[in-house]
Amino acid sequence: MIEVHIGTLPSDKAFTFTDWTAEMKAKASICISQDDTLIESLEIAKRRIEIMINKGMDNGKQILQGLVDTAENRVSEIRSGEKPALTPDADASYYAEFVVDLDQVVEPMIADPDVHNDDVSKRYTHDTIRALSYYKGEKPVDLGFVGSCMVHKGDLKILSQMLKNLEKKQGRVEFNAPLVVAAPTYNIIDELKEEGDWNILKEYSGFEFNDDSPKGAARLEYENMMYLERPGCNLCMGNQEKAAKGDTVMATSTRLFQGRLVEDSDQKKGESLLSSTPVVVLSAILGRTPSFEEYKSAVDGIDLTAFAPPQEEMVA
């Protein structure tokens, strides 16, 4: 069981923490949130469920409406002080505590499967974490993937803002490797359409999913362009879409296991490196890992996160 103390990060972003704890072999994970943040999270969830109800997606038992009622009741409990956000006991005992000092993270980090490590036991472990500058802007990347449960609406907004940034600096953006984009949910796509970001993504894409004319088979070959795929797991699932054998993939997903996103070819080991959305996007545009300077230029003026640690001790 893992507790993640998320402070001011709402649940539609914080769920990435609980999702990747599966890779730590956790049986369960929970986000410990401040009262105001939990209320914000419940309001976001309620709005999205209400949209689903308005689309006629509820059933005869009104399960979705029941979720809305539960959220409203929970918000009332928190605001009245009757039942604040869940917090651990002050004397709770933990097997281990791990604090991330964000001041030490000065550039993007990449989880590398380290496929050529002489010690075979150290390959595909999720333990080889390297700074972006380690690659010196030189490592070839054959495919980028922004998707899975590691991304949220903000990631897709960052992608659209990056495209605008780069177009302003250098003109029309061309992809030197395929970029596969899979939003988490249809609700998020609807919100992106309302806010104008989806139109920007469509402008740069060579493919947009169409539920009225779905693909007949999983995609196994890609061109150097952006693919706006149906919401869901896509490449991360490992048994659906696949990168070409032997590819080097830069992805936002949680898993870099051998054969998961990409299999080995006869000539080259397939490898899936894990990083943030901006690094993945730039890697697909450049066809290689970006330098730290290229990264900073591409994200200039973009609010990458609004996260702040808990402002008070989060115990009962």
pLDDT tens column, 260-279: 888 999 999 999 999 999 99
**pLDDT tens-place string over residues 208-245:** 999 999 888 888 889 999 999 999 888 887 767 889 99
Which pLDDT band holds residue 104 (cuts at 50, 70, 90)? confident
Give the number of other Cβ atoms within 10 Å of residue 200's Cβ.
Answer: 19
What distance in Å separates the CA atoms of residue 166 and residue 172, rounded to the nearest whole number?
8
User: Which tokens hold the place of 106?
Assistant: 């000065």
* Second CATH level (architecture) for the domain 107-298: 2-Layer Sandwich (3.30)
Report pTM.
0.89
Of 25, 44, 48, 24, nearest to 33 by C-alpha is 44
Report the DSSP pairing between strands 205-208 and 179-182. unpaired
Of 168, 154, 234, 164, nearest to 199 by C-alpha is 164
Give pLDDT, residue 25: 76
Paired with 273 in beta bridges are: 250
Residue type for 69, please? Answer: D
Give pLDDT, residue 21: 77
User: Which tokens hold the place of 148?
Assistant: 């899975």
The answer to whether the CB of 146 falls within 8 A of the CB of 298 is: no
Which pLDDT band holds residue 7 (cuts at 50, 70, 90)? confident
Phi, psi values for residue 163, rounded to 5° = -60, -40
Give pLDDT, residue 311: 66
Of 34, 29, 33, nearest to 16 by C-alpha is 29
Domain boundaries, the chain: 2-80, 107-298
Give pLDDT, residue 306: 66
Give pLDDT, residue 299: 94
What distance in Å separates the CA atoms of residue 188 and residue 197, rounded to the nearest whole number?
11
